[in-house]
Chains A and B, each alone.
Chain A
Amino acid sequence: MTRSLHALALAAALAAGATGAQATLKVMTSTTDLADLAKAVGGSRITVSSIGAGYQDPHFVEAKPSFIVKLQQADVWAFVGLDLEIGWMPVLLDGARNPNIKMGGSGYIDVSRAVPVLDIPSGNVDRSQGDVHPLGNPHYWLDPDNAKRIVALFRARFTDLDPSGAPVYAANEAKFDASLDSAEKTWAPMLAKIKGKPIVAWHTSWRYFAEYSGVNIVAFMEPKPGVPPSPSHLAGVIQTMKRTGAKVIVMEPFYDKKMADFVADKTGAKVLILPPSVGGLKDGDPPNYIALMTYDITQLADSLP
């Protein structure tokens, strides 16, 4: 009888162990970049899906009920924060009715808390300044140093939620960091070429990229964040480009290229469509974060004189 009980206990322990080994975290992220970085850490221990597509403006995502179903079943909700998702995230989180992924829940990850933030407005802020983000510029994933911080955050939080996976998460983080370090070595000559060169960007989303690469953004096509360019503003941009010698206008694939083409025509510059996120081009390209940064840096270096 005692032997039988021991056997039963052993079987139960094995079953529990097996269950633990197969345990997977269901991770939902707001952007494809966070999804890719989460996958880099979680590997096969997580399933991950993104609400936004890589070629979609992350400010304006439709809060579809199909996302609510996914969020209802999620263990983790990781989002960019700094009010990037303010226009749609509250509807989805309220609709999902999942206390684990609401503020204060174990799976609620505001990724912005792990990175240094640029462009935090000083003084009073109101909407006369356009679609300004009072908490700072949210496009921080375009700095690879921040990618390492995000990965470190995911490793810590996934470990909290799934302690048995700690060694896997730590190993995956180290592997990602090594891959990124290796990639940075290949980027170095291109970054040296980019550094200090003047460019124009459509939106403030390239501020972190500029901090990292050293490229000098001399003007934005938008007069204020989120506000379409006015003729008088474009006239000023053209003057600035002529004065500084800027020969590239960088913009995301989801903005209308017409105005940028006009300015480029007047200044002899080139309009460069760069994906700001994983999957920002056709057919899921670039497929991952390092490929995204490689693509953007290469394209910019090739376009600059």
Chain B
Amino acid sequence: MRHHTLIFIAGSALLAAPLAAQQPDSAARAKARADSVARADSVAREDSIRTVREIERIQNEPRKRDSVPKPPPQSPATGVGAPTNPRMLPDFSAVVDLVADLSPHSSTQPDGRRFSVREVELAVQAAIDPYFRGDVFLGFDDLEKVAVEEAALTTTSLGNGFEARAGRYRMPVGKINTTHRHDLHYVEYPYVIQEFFSPEGLRGTGIWGSKIFSPFGFYQEFIVTMVDAFGESPDSLFVRDPANKTLSGLGYSARLRNYWDFSQDKNMEWSFSAVTGKRPQPISGGSDTLNAVNVQQTVVGTDVTYRWRPLKQGLYESFLLQAEFMYQINQKNPAVPTGTTYAGPTSDYPGAYVFGRYQMSQRNFLGARYDWLKDPENDGAPFNAVSLIWEFFPSEFSKLIAEYQYISRAGYQPSFPTYGTDPRLSRLLLQATFALGPHKPHAF
């Protein structure tokens, strides 16, 4: 204890000596103190900044660089991690399809509008369970209001290349019919599709089965469907019994796809399709409640698609050539009610189109299409159309199209009521589409 006391006294004396020496110059002492405080503040500030930066660096650092890499804490090498969609929400998306018709004489749209929201498509898609996937597409437009475009349950686990589907879907007939209208490379479906099926193509409600196989070393797929009806019946036609009263009155289709890779850059698909079923056709001399009969109609066709896209410059260059030929076969002498006369098609009609598109730059495409058909609704009168199309993609999720079309036809046609009777017609169509949300990519 005594030692401690002595040490304390000695230490105090040693400290007191320099302090006493500073007493005479109080101003210098104050300045020195101020400098000392400022230095301390500066050091503290630098330390603080350094600390903050260190924290930021550590926060931003993705991993500590060890000599032996270690898996991240939540992601062991077994591939287990946090789910990216823990609430298992389906994918919701909307595609808006805007069309302007600036044709010189009048609008050529069915509703006569110059500017219209042609359709808003709302899509909901998700896996339902380990066995099925669900896809629902609702279409909203000013004419039909709301329509179920597609609503299908598709198997995901049959294996061996099999797939089954039930519900409403775009019919696998021809190449372009399975593409949604807003995804076309032109504003409207080719005329052979519009005339043989409908302006919106051909849909069906029923069951679908397909199998993919490659016994010859290239991709093949065979698809068959059975649907409630071949196409939609016009509201103005009334038949005695619905076509689907018997199984033979349902719609049936088959398609065989064949695909070859010529090289990494070039490939081709050549496929064959057929669809058959009974469709209401008009009779004359009937009544307001019976003015049509169910008549067998079959459409057979073939389609060829050639693609060129160099892999290295694929962002900037590509070429597509597509052609479809269809042949409509109609029942010639259907039975009609007594006192009436058949007024539907009595011949067979061909139709085709050829479309080519060249990519000029990352966002610009230039295309041309030639349509030819014998119009079934005008007793096989010839119909020709040439279209020039400029397609521009601001991004993957928006598209602009400008299309000039020149039509040569045999005067008035029932299927083009808004076109008038001029045998030669020019059309100028503009289209803008945009997608919101995770719209699923479409098939190749």
Contact = CB atoms under 8 A, between A and B. Distances in A.
Interface of A: 53, 55-57, 60, 62-66, 68-69, 72, 86-88, 90-91, 94-95, 97-99, 102-104, 109-111, 113-118, 127, 131, 135, 145-146, 148-149, 152-153, 155-157, 211, 226-228, 253-256
8 contacts: A90-B441, A95-B212, A97-B161, A97-B163, A111-B79, A114-B71, A116-B72, A157-B78
A117 B71 contact: no
A256 B441 contact: no
A60 to B, nearest CB: 6
Given A53-B311, A113-B81, A256-B362, A68 B62 contact: no
Interface string B73-102: 001111111001000000000000000000
A65 B269 contact: yes
B157 interface: yes
Contacts of A135: 84
Given A90-B440, A117-B62, A66 B259 contact: yes
A256 to B, nearest CB: 6
Contacts of B156: 94, 97, 99, 102
A153 B311 CA distance: 29
Given A68-B212, A87-B441, A53 B79 contact: no
B78 A145 contact: no
B244 to A, nearest CB: 30
A156 B72 contact: no
Contacts of A127: 395, 397
B212 A69 contact: yes
B79 A149 contact: no
Contacts of A56: 311-312, 314
Contact of A157 (B79, B219, B267, B315): B79
Nearest to B260: A66
A254 B162 contact: no
B267 A66 contact: yes
Interface in B112-170: 127, 130, 133, 154, 156-163
A99 B156 CA distance: 7
Nearest to B440: A90
Interface string B230-266: 0000000000000000000000000001011100100
A115 B75 contact: yes
Given A97-B212, A110-B79, 10 more contacts: A56-B311, A57-B314, A66-B267, A69-B218, A91-B441, A95-B443, A131-B396, A146-B69, A155-B77, A255-B315
Given A62-B309, A148-B69, A153 B62 contact: no
A114 B75 contact: yes
A91 B75 contact: no
A62 B359 CA distance: 15
B219 A97 contact: no
A260 to B, nearest CB: 14
A71 B77 CA distance: 24
A109 B81 CA distance: 12
A57 B315 CA distance: 8
B313 interface: yes
Given A56-B312, A69-B219, A127-B395, A64 B261 contact: yes
A279 B80 CA distance: 30
Contacts of B72: 115-116
B159, B314, B362 — most chain A CB neighbours (10 Å):
B314
B434 to A, nearest CB: 10
B160 to A, nearest CB: 8
B316 interface: yes
Contact of A60 (B212, B314, B438): B314
B442 interface: yes
Interface residues of B, number: 57
Contacts of A69: 212, 214, 218-219
A126 to B, nearest CB: 10
Contact of A99 (B79, B157, B309, B444): B157
A65 B311 contact: no
Contact of A65 (B259, B362, B441): B259
B348 interface: no
Nearest to B162: A97
A53 B313 CA distance: 12
B443 A63 contact: yes
Contacts of B81: 113
A155 B77 CA distance: 9
B180 to A, nearest CB: 14
A149 B77 contact: yes
B159 A97 contact: yes
Contacts of B127: 103
Contact of B79 (A109, A253, A254): A109
Given A99-B157, A156-B78, A157-B79, A88 B69 contact: no
Q: Which of B79, B156, B267, B440 has the most CB of A within 10 A?
A: B79
A42 B315 CA distance: 33
Given A63-B444, A65-B257, A55 B212 contact: no
Contacts of B316: 256
A102 B130 CA distance: 10
Nearest to B61: A211
A113 B397 CA distance: 28
Interface in B250-291: 257, 259-261, 264, 267, 269
B267 A64 contact: yes
Closest 4 CB pairs of A and B: A65-B219, A145-B69, A113-B81, A152-B77
Contact of A98 (B159, B221, B257, B311): B159
Contact of B77 (A98, A156, A211, A254): A156
Contacts of B315: 57, 60, 254-256
